[in-house]
Amino acid sequence: MKKEINEQERIEFRRYSTIYNVLLVMTMLLLIPLSKTFGWIGSAIWIIICAVTFYYGSRVEKYKKKHNIQTYKEIRAFKEGKTLSEIELAREEGKRPYQKAFITIGLSILAVVVTASMILIYRYL
């Protein structure tokens, strides 16, 4: 990470991250309610929400790539306007391969749980 972090970039990163997180939750939760309520128009609305979510997700990833931040500790330090020492950076780079695997597994489990709960809700509506 660069030693001097631009305040404007931190604010934009935080804003894009918040928008992305809200849209991601909406994407997970709204497919069945929108489809059930509005039919194919609800599905089209959901696809639009997915497209906007993808846009903000790509913006967040551009910031992460630009400032070489990938782990939670690096992201948190960036949001606070701090930098990590060389030793901390080396440790975080060593953790990256493992963290990506755990994140993938965790998100897969979360997707299964959310899908199963939405199916149960759909059956009882």
Positive/negative CA dihedral, 85, 86, 91, 95 = positive
pLDDT category of residue 1 using cuts at 50, 70 and 90: very low
Q: Which residue has the tokens 């972090």?
A: 5
Identify the residue whose tokens are 């500790």: 73
* Per-residue model confidence as pLDDT tens digits over 101-125: 787 788 889 888 988 888 888 788 7
CA distance 72 to 99: 9
Distance, in Å, from the CA atom of 6 to the CA atom of 81, rounded to the nearest integer, reads: 8
For position 6, what pLDDT does the model report? 75
Mind listing the pLDDT tens digit for each residue in 13-63?
889 989 999 999 999 889 888 988 998 999 999 999 999 999 999 998 888
Torsion of CA 83, 70, 106, 114, to 10 degrees: 100
pLDDT at 2 over 60: no
